[in-house]
């Protein structure tokens, strides 16, 4: 039987992870990634290089699907850390901290991952930074996007995948004569891509400051849960090469990609106030490497992972399976592996149903 030909639109963390897992887990597919941007490029149109990134699940206590994605992905990252050198993957183990500015109320519910993340516990009073009323710690990972995206791309190529640089105005443009399946991983652009035009997708602007510190000086990541009305948050995410990300904003429907110097100053001040130990002893100020702005592809209703058949010829004689994997918001890395496996599962289910129909079973 000839291999099914799959075109994946998008080379962000969603497209690359899906592509690698398709070739790793399943035989019988010929996979091409076609995208406007690839790892190594920095532009406001491509979210993945701008991420922190860490695993800090935001799934609500009732969202079992998202919990499952995040859980599978953290296990995958822990295994990756054991299996491959950090220089190759950019993924490293760290201690995670969540801080709250208010004491938990009577109805406080532990985060869903309290039973799952190793080392989860409440912080003792003497471990809390000034101004912080409550906190928890757990073992987690951080990911250096530029290293990890290249690792995914190299893995994909080594497994026999193909790449092509192309911009599509419409999903139909990705359906060549011999295409069987199209997988849409266009992130924020699913809002405008013809044939998708999902108005539930919108940008949430994230501004960050990247500083340079001695490698291994920061072995922890934190996020401070402040009042929800404040669009400037406070978080720190270290990378394997001494770069440390200070964040950051979460501003809905803001598509500006130029960093705001006043916001940058505020981010630095907040991070240093929460964790003054960011500064090595004797160092007076942080060394800024660059400023960044990325647009999170948030989707009302959560990530869209669905499959649909579309006619690829006017007379309806050829049908192509279109699968979607977009709308990962601020959690595209931490859910990437679990979401990709789910996409492959529903893709194969749709193919099996069609096969059975054709055989009239
Ligand atoms: P993208 O990375 O945007 O990739 C889209 C791809 O599709 C690109 O290759 C693009 O060229 C291609 N494309 C789009 N349209 C077309 C077209 N018409 N034709 C051809 N190609 C097209 N997530 C975490 O898990 N943890 C974190 O700590 C974290 N921190 C973040 C911090 C910031 C400041 C930001 C901005 C994001 C953060 N995120 C984090 C979120 C994460 O970065 C995103 O969820 C993720 O990168 C989305 O990836 P994607 O592959 O879906 O989209």
Is the pLDDT confidence value at 361 over 90? no
- Token pair for 359: 């055989």
Query: Residue 318 in contact with residue 218, Cβ under 8 Å?
Result: no
In angstroms, rounded to a whole number, what is the distance separating the alpha carbons of residues 316 and 348? Answer: 22
DSSP 3-state assignment of 302? Answer: coil
Query: Given this model, what pLDDT does residue 285 score?
Result: 93
Average pLDDT over residues 291-301: 97
Is residue 104 very low, low, confident or very high in pLDDT (cuts 50, 70, 90)?
confident
CB of 191 closer than 6 angstroms to any ligand 1 atom: no
Residues pairing with 142 in the sheet: 54, 92
**pLDDT at 229 (0 to 100):** 61
Which residue did the predictor score with more confidence, 2 or 123?
A: 123
Gap between the Cα atoms of 182 and 312, Å rounded: 11
CA distance 223 to 236: 7
pLDDT at 144 over 80: yes
Q: What is the pLDDT of residue 227?
A: 57
pLDDT at 315: 66
- Dihedral over alpha carbons 234, 235, 236, 237 (to 10 degrees): -150
User: According to the annotation, is 47 in a ligand binding site?
Assistant: yes
8 and 18 in contact (C-beta within 8 Å)?
A: yes
Q: Using pLDDT thresholds of 50, 70 and 90, give the confidence band for residue 122.
A: very high
Q: In Å, what is the CA distance from 309 to each residue of 20, 170, 181, 191, 324?
A: 23, 16, 9, 20, 12
Among 74, 91, 238, 333, residue to substitute to test ligand 1 (most atoms within 8 Å of Cβ):
333
CA 207 – CA 300 distance, rounded (Å): 21
Are 44 and 187 in contact by the 8 Å Cβ rule? The answer is no
Whole-number CA gyration radius for the chain: 21
Q: Binding site annotation covers 14? A: no
Give the confidence band of 316 by pLDDT, cuts at 50, 70, 90.
low
pLDDT score for 222: 96
User: Considering only CA atoms, which residue is closest to atom 31 of ligand 1?
Assistant: 51
Q: Give the least confident one: 51-65, 126-140, 307-321.
A: 307-321
Going by C-alpha positions, the residue among 163, 137, 168, 134 that lies closest to residue 150 is 163
Calculate the CA 15 to chain-centre distance: 11
Would the pLDDT of 228 be above 60? no
- Higher-confidence residue: 186 or 62? 186
Cβ–ligand 1 contact at 37 (below 6 Å): yes
pLDDT of residue 105: 84
Q: How far is the CA of 186 from the centre of ligand 1 (A)?
A: 8
The pLDDT value recorded for residue 168 is: 96
Q: Are 326 and 303 in contact (CB under 8 A)?
A: yes
pLDDT at residue 108, as a whole number: 83
Q: What is the mean pLDDT of residues 94-108?
A: 90
Q: Ligand 1 center to residue 279 CA distance, Å? A: 31
pTM: 0.96
Question: What is d(CA 255, CA 274) in angstroms, rounded to the nearest whole number?
Answer: 29
Asked whether residue 114 is marked as a ligand-binding residue, the answer is: no
Contact 173, 261 (CB under 8 A): no
Mean pLDDT of 305-309: 96
């Amino acid at each position: 039987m000839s291999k099914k030909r799959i075109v994946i639109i998008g080379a962000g963390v969603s497209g690359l992870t899906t592509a690698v897992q398709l070739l790793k887990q399943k035989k019988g597919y010929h996979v091409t990634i076609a995208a406007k941007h690839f790892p190594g490029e920095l532009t406001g149109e491509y979210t993945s290089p701008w991420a922190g990134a860490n695993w800090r699940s935001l799934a609500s206590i009732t969202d079992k699907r998202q919990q499952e994605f995040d859980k599978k992905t953290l296990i995958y990252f822990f295994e990756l850390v054991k299996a491959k050198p950090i220089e190759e993957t950019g993924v490293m183990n760290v201690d995670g901290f969540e801080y709250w500015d208010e004491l938990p109320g009577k109805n406080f519910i532990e985060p869903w991952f309290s039973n799952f993340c190793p080392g989860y516990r409440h912080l003792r009073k003497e471990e809390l930074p000034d101004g912080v009323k409550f906190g928890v710690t757990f073992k987690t990972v951080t990911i250096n996007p530029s290293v990890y995206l290249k690792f995914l791309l190299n893995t994909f190529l080594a497994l026999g995948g193909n790449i092509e640089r192309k911009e599509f105005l419409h999903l139909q443009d990705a359906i060549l004569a011999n295409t069987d399946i199209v997988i849409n991983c266009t992130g924020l652009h699913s809002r405008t891509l013809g044939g998708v035009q999902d108005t539930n997708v919108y940008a949430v602007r994230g501004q960050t400051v990247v500083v340079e510190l001695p490698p291994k000086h920061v072995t922890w990541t934190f996020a401070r849960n402040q009042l929800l009305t404040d669009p400037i948050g406070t978080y720190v995410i270290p990378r394997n090469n001494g770069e440390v990300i200070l964040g950051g904003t979460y501003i809905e429907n803001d598509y500006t990609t130029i960093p705001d110097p006043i916001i940058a100053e505020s981010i630095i001040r907040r991070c240093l106030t929460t964790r003054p130990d960011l500064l090595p002893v004797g160092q007076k100020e942080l060394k800024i490497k660059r400023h960044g702005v990325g647009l999170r592809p948030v989707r009302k209703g959560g990530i869209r992972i669905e499959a649909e058949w579309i006619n690829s010829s006017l007379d309806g004689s050829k049908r192509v399976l279109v699968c979607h994997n977009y709308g990962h918001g601020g959690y595209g890395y931490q859910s990437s592996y679990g979401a990709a496996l789910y996409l492959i599962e529903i893709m194969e289910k749709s193919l099996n149903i069609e096969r059975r129909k054709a055989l009239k079973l």
